[in-house]
A and B are shown apart, each in its own frame.
Chain A
């Protein structure tokens, strides 16, 4: 029986070789984030009909409902304005204290609201696409519950975020008011807390917050809630598994801490 053409033709070998080289070249080029950012305008275009419907549906709501929503929004706005003012005062006090103690001045980050326009399609949404102005790589992203992740790359008012479930991010964490110094790193669908000595093992349900070590993440942001603690025989450290405190899968808005930026 004669061999089929594909078995005698060496072009397959060449095509395979070219593909392998292409895979090897593309793998470290970080094409993925750029592609996601490039698709952002198309995603917003697809969202347009839903936004129009949302705006149009306001015409069918009663005046009383709308007035109640307005009152609620105004009250929330006043509360936030008071909190911003308090934060300004504290920042100024902090600046003066650091000056008196001859410590270096840390440029305060300003928080900006960012509209979520897309998620990666995996169950945990390990990457998020945001519409935000003035963000930079490595800016911190948080929800109202806790830390979400870091900005990976930005382009023309859009930013892609790697969440704390991504294995490439490690966050220095501690227990509030404690001396624990551990590292939280993503494992796809949960978080592993490294370097917790057996004597300092946290109880199940404890919430770990950023310790501020390293300077990238400001101290005190809730990161993860401990879900399991396993004591390993003969090991110095315990194996601690945790779940993220923030639930970004359904959030429409997140906050980005823009280093050295002005609040809006």
Chain B
């Protein structure tokens, strides 16, 4: 149930970013959703990556915005979880590593901060959901 819902919301997020960026500062809705899904459960990468492709192509017309980092996130998490044990620091690092490129691609600091905060919130909700189920 979660994958189709998140991917649908991801499309709505991209549409909001394209349609309302001239009016107000807003987070990168779809990136926050997709990244939170991987951080909450690294096994989600299989359906998150196509979403990341769509995100990069629709918003930046390139696949080099966040996709390369989204590919690295589950691999990095698996590697560090195995070496040092599961923990939050590697996940915070992955969160920053994937969102900082937004600043390079011309997004404002306020939009970046909103994206990080939104991602943290969705990550918390999804992590609780995966613990319960």
Contacts and interface: CB of A to CB of B under 8 A. Distances in A.
A119 B57 contact: no
B18 A43 contact: yes
Contacts of A120: 18, 21, 59-60
A19 B58 contact: no
A121 B58 contact: no
Given A43-B15, A121-B107, A19 B71 contact: yes
Given A32-B57, A46-B15, A123 B22 contact: no
Interface residues of B, number: 32
Interface string A99-139: 00000000000000000111111111111010000000000
Contacts of A47: 19
Contacts of A6: 78
B54 interface: yes
B21 A119 contact: yes
B110 to A, nearest CB: 10
A129 B21 CA distance: 12
Contact of A124 (B19, B59, B106, B111): B106
A124 B105 CA distance: 10
Contact of A188 (B61, B62, B106): B106
B121 interface: no
A6 B42 CA distance: 12
A36 interface: yes
A71 interface: no
Interface in A78-112: none
B107 A27 contact: no
A39 B49 CA distance: 20
Most B C-beta atoms less than 10 A away, residue of A47, A118, A120: A120
B108 interface: yes
Contacts of B9: none
Nearest to B26: A121
A39 B19 CA distance: 10
Contacts of B18: 36, 39, 43, 118-121, 129
Interface in A30-76: 30-33, 35-36, 39, 42-43, 46-47
Given A188-B106, A189-B106, 14 more contacts: A7-B82, A26-B53, A31-B57, A32-B58, A36-B58, A39-B58, A42-B15, A46-B15, A120-B21, A120-B59, A120-B60, A122-B105, A122-B106, A123-B107
Interface of B: 11, 14-22, 26, 28, 49, 53-54, 57-63, 67, 71, 75, 78, 82, 105-108, 111
